[in-house]
Amino acid sequence: MNEDKSKSRTTIYVIVFLILAAALVAIILFGLLGKGGSSGDDGQTAEVTDASGNVVQYQDNWETEPVTEAPETTPKHESPLKMVVAESETELTDLAVELDKNSKKTYKMDLDKFAESGDTIDTFTFYYHSADNVSNLGEVKGGFGISVDNKCEAKTDNIWYQTPEDFSVRASSYGTVTWEIPEDIKDYITVSGGSILFGYWWSDVNKIVLDKVVCHKRAVKLIPCDGESTEEIGKVMKAAEPDNVITIDASEVLETYHQPSSLTLKFEGKEPVSELKGKFSIGTGSFRGGSCESVPMIVSSEKNETEITWVLPDVVRMNADQCGKITFTLERCNLDEVTAKEMVVQYALTEE
């Protein structure tokens, strides 16, 4: 009897052991399936009953996502700024404009024929003579006017400045008068779309003829400049075709990632170059018909050497074609011939 009880107890132990072992195996398998099964879950899920009796599932994601570092970016290049002062004169000649003190008393001219936006205009000189080329003018009286920005406190009208006092000069049959631009309007002169006015009020004759107007100006500008290139030229020039033009390939002085800021042409004569007049042009691809040019400029020197500089307007600088042409045309010189020694181009770097 006792033996039967012992066997029964052993059997119960075995059954309990098997149940526990099976439960352990099931737990292990469940854990493995939970991590590597096909459900696609990346974490472990727990069910929690909230205060309202609702079962809420929470998933803890133990996997760490790879951190992708942002690529390093190169800061945009900013060219250092360089102050450039290029002094020159410009002119309108052969005007032959007749003015009458009793009727047509004034004559307007476009400012962009004398200067470019950003230039500082210092003076205008007006050349005139009596209509019959003989009569003495005696005392000549008149006035000047010029376009200014509306912000100019010295303006006499909305966008206009008129000299408050008449000029008065004496002359024979030929005369000149120079207007020195007042300091309080220099920074407000509107070149683009603006005008300069010459007024004739009185003299000993009724009519005078305005022959020529000369503007003395300065290009005073901070230009972006990373460096400069020089092209030796060594060409003898004369102020007559075909010896009055120099043309170089822009690629000789500019790389594809260079943006020209100023052009300077240096000259040498056998005697002092007291007067030299000329203009630049530069290729601009599809912009403005393929090229842009400066106004004709006049420089003077008491020495045998002189130079003429064009500070490129921003719109020209940004559209310059590095594969185009750079040209200089000599229009006038006090010498029969002068040697163009070299061209210097100051440039800024752009993104390659």
What local confidence, expressed as pLDDT, does residue 39 receive?
47
Residue 218 backbone phi and psi in degrees, to 5: -135, 135
Whether the CB-CB separation of 297 and 88 falls below 8 Å is answered with: yes
Write the CATH number of the domain with boundaries 225-349. Answer: 2.60.120.1570
What local confidence, expressed as pLDDT, does residue 67 receive?
60
Whether the CB-CB separation of 145 and 162 falls below 8 Å is answered with: yes
Residue 73 CA to residue 150 CA, distance in Å, equals 43
Residue of 273, 306, 277, 291 lying closest to 91 (CA atoms): 277
Residue 280 CA to residue 263 CA, distance in Å, equals 8
Could you state, in order of their start, the residue ranges of all structural domains in the chain? 81-221, 225-349
- Where would I find the beta strands (DSSP E) of 7-105? 43-49, 55-61, 81-92, 97-100
Burial (CB count within 10 angstroms: exposed 0-12, middle 13-18, buried 19+), residue 18: exposed
| Same fold across 81-221 and 225-349 | yes
In which residue ranges of the chain is pLDDT below 70? 1-14, 16-18, 21-68, 70, 352
Write the CATH number of the domain with boundaries 81-221. Answer: 2.60.120
Strands 119-130, 207-224: pairing is antiparallel
